Structure 1
């Protein structure tokens, strides 16, 4: 169960402008964000002063202490008038979490020529001071509270901050070693830990197999109910007797390990020791776990697991992701590509019937491979990867279209400019594995990368298009 997302609410004002107007704006903003995101917990400035508004730098240090104690995941600093730029920057630096900067659009001057807020003017000042303090921030164009620009921007910021939350300090499991010839999935565990706080938690494949077999040895074990649940998800008629039960035991063994180690995602050496030891493929288990919010990447691809975790986190409610091979171009569409893998795509994303079959490539032809097609719709595709100490995040969007039948799990994605995608991916530091999810997430990752020390590397849409989405 994921912890509730916590937002630090840091409204600010400057004393030279109307106190009453600032307090009115603060109340309206608080009410609005509660309506926009009722699922989050908001930590405010109650009792900081009589207004619960940040005004002085001394108050900034106390606000930062409160927010650190509450372990907020992000901070929203709406300027209820010009604002106190030094106090905001000081607090934000001390808190060290993603920061959202915005203020409501100013009303026309009063009849006597006076102005009540000068909010936009203060935003210019705060942006400069944040840069001086070395504080990265997200900015929403000065707009009215009910403007779609604010609503989209606020929700996009929450999603980006959630990506940052799940990335920093993530614990990623690794079951077994990489396949012998897969140099492409080599990762630097030391760099992941030192740069991002990401821990890689290993588990010997033989230990997992022993755990699964121990579970199966109990005739009244939980594997029975799990096997029955599996039969309700897909058709196993093409598999040998006992396959469903073994898959159920394998899944429960992984569940126990990931709960004990508090893992966010994992990668598994899915061939070929598992086929030799248990006579099954893990594909269906990968698919079910991904659907339950625990990405399990194929072929010991740690960066693939991280990519899936990031994409799953691009909404406050986890969404199913799939890890695909970029395989072949569509035979009739030069801007479309086959997204394929042996069978690990979540059943929730399938169109039509769902069957589990025997493997069609591995010499063992072991059962456990899923066979279904991805449903139509818009998708986002990302890949977190690195080489030589430099890390980047490839990002693109497309839509699923029809194409020739394939064995395993598959779908065809059409994008704006496939040759551009292909060249970016080949030049790297990326590989043939890419994480996918339904919906549009490019704006989320454009913001998240501001905080991750990871270069944002979009294909299509390009960066200018992505940024323009948030301004209009």
Structure 2
């Protein structure tokens, strides 16, 4: 993966001084053995935490070994004060788990009572106002703890990535796209940097890259990627120049950050000066883990980046766009009704052409039909060329957005479903989405909570990880699609 942190995960055991310290040490070592068997990379920290002095020793060892994500393991009851202190002072994501009792043959000298100790630790973590990741059922035998650690890794990677992220934006939002507002205080609260620039800055860096020797190499790579979809080969030089310009700008301006993403103005003035639509370049950078959100949608870019870190797959940004006509449903009833979907469970996700080619069927460079109507009416497409269009690949999907309200509160939604193997019979990067109870979710979450029309789209069911990331970020309002028999708070109870 590119543009993401390398996780150096450590595990440390804690032990209450009235319990055998060897019980915690031995149980932790067995967890490490299980991680090795399951190819889960982990650093076995030698320090055992019994008191606050041990916390200082542990922090020194953690620093020396380069650990940036930590598993705290209660091998027995554990000292809740020093344990919560370690979690507070460690500057990285923390998971806490606890040992289950292994056998009924040794419940005198070999009983650890970590099940009980975890309750005390939870209280102390609350006193310190420290958020940690606690697995769904956090107590287990070594093989079960190893599985929990594996589940923690994408969560830890995402938290670390956000702490070291800079978002580059270019230009103000297009007219009537006020829903893409960007209160920046919540970004700072998350530890994310933002660098806001003008469209003129974007044009300037593009012009500076005009004679860059790397342009030819990028053109060759584009042609190879597109294959038969390279319908406008004469356009590739401009697109390659733009790609080189963006990458150079990011590398030169990361500053104290390690990772970067973009939210760029892409119309209507863009085409008149640059001479193309930037969608294909946006798609290529997204495939490398550098989302370039359309229409200066900063929180859309952030949502894409979270999905990328969690799923280890490229994501895209689409409009929750249009309904699926009844005749198209009838033509594909074996793919829809046989799976139990209602018409209101369906919608089409669409955008001009920013989705990575690996997520499309028969992707090809085309022109943006809507912009062509606006900018080149009645003419052959020229400055509106540059979209990557095709049908979204069928399979698992997640729609997700983290967003800031006008009063700068962070809210979010997520819902899992699938992209159906149906021809949408339309233009752009587009697909037919099926999400259970989408109609009610659309009405009582997207509309009721004032979310914008852009949604980040992932191509894997990773909702459980995204949800935990949101909790660790301290986001309180997290919405998801409810089943048919469970009503939303604002839903009319008299509608059947």
Q: 2 CA distance for matches of 1:457 and 1:370?
A: 32
Q: 1 CA distance for matches of 2:288 and 2:482?
A: 29
Match of 2:395 among 377, 384, 387: 377
Query: Match for residue 428 of structure 1?
Result: 449
User: Unaligned 5+ residue runs, structure 2?
Assistant: 330-342, 487-496
Q: 2 CA distance for matches of 1:145 and 1:229?
A: 47
Match of 1:146 among 143, 148, 152: 143
1:255-404 maps to which residues of 2 (within 5 A)? 255-262=247-254, 263-315=259-311, 318-331=312-325, 332=329, 333-351=343-361, 353-362=362-371, 363-364=375-376, 365=381, 366-387=384-405, 388-401=407-420, 402-404=422-424
Query: Match for residue 227 of structure 1?
Result: 219
Shift of 1:236: 5.0
- SS of the aligned residue for 1:58 comes to helix
Query: Match for residue 433 of structure 2?
Result: 413
Do 1:60 and 1:91's aligned partners in 2 also have CA atoms closer than 8 Å? yes
Do 2:13 and 2:24's aligned partners in 1 also have CA atoms closer than 8 Å? no
Shift of 1:441: 1.6
| Cα separation, partners in 2 of 1:211 and 1:134, compared to 1, 3 Å | closer
- SS of the aligned residue for 1:139 comes to coil
Query: Match for residue 454 of structure 1?
Result: 475
Further displaced range: 95-104 or 170-179: 95-104
| Cα separation, partners in 2 of 1:247 and 1:16, compared to 1, 3 Å | same
Say whether residues 1:98 and 2:107 are aligned partners.
no
| Cα separation, partners in 2 of 1:111 and 1:382, compared to 1, 3 Å | closer
- SS of the aligned residue for 1:53 comes to strand
Query: Match for residue 12 of structure 1?
Result: 14
Query: Match for residue 438 of structure 1?
Result: 459
Q: 2 CA distance for matches of 1:7 and 1:175?
A: 36
Q: 1 CA distance for matches of 2:461 and 2:369?
A: 33
Shift of 1:72: 4.2
Do 1:382 and 1:434's aligned partners in 2 also have CA atoms closer than 8 Å? yes
- SS of the aligned residue for 1:361 comes to helix
Match of 1:121 among 116, 133, 157: 116
Q: 2 CA distance for matches of 1:80 and 1:337?
A: 49
Q: 2 CA distance for matches of 1:59 and 1:461?
A: 46
Shift of 1:60: 1.5
Q: How many residues align?
A: 447
1:26-37 maps to which residues of 2 (within 5 A)? 26-36=28-38
Do 2:98 and 2:140's aligned partners in 1 also have CA atoms closer than 8 Å? yes
1:160-171 maps to which residues of 2 (within 5 A)? 160-171=155-166
Q: 1 CA distance for matches of 2:448 and 2:163?
A: 27
- SS of the aligned residue for 1:146 comes to helix
User: Unaligned 5+ residue runs, structure 1?
Assistant: 47-51, 466-472
| Cα separation, partners in 2 of 1:167 and 1:35, compared to 1, 3 Å | farther
Deviations 1:270-316 (A, max 9, x none): 1122210121000100000000110000011111111111111114x
| Cα separation, partners in 2 of 1:456 and 1:442, compared to 1, 3 Å | farther
Shift of 1:154: 2.2
RMSD: 2.4
| Cα separation, partners in 2 of 1:257 and 1:158, compared to 1, 3 Å | same
* TM-score between both structures, scaled by the size of structure 2: 0.84
Query: Match for residue 338 of structure 2?
Result: none
Further displaced range: 395-404 or 2-11: 2-11
Do 1:18 and 1:116's aligned partners in 2 also have CA atoms closer than 8 Å? no
- SS of the aligned residue for 1:45 comes to strand
Query: Match for residue 170 of structure 2?
Result: 175
| Cα separation, partners in 2 of 1:82 and 1:270, compared to 1, 3 Å | same
- SS of the aligned residue for 1:313 comes to helix
- SS of the aligned residue for 1:122 comes to helix
Do 2:23 and 2:110's aligned partners in 1 also have CA atoms closer than 8 Å? no
Match of 2:77 among 70, 73, 82: 82
Do 2:437 and 2:482's aligned partners in 1 also have CA atoms closer than 8 Å? no
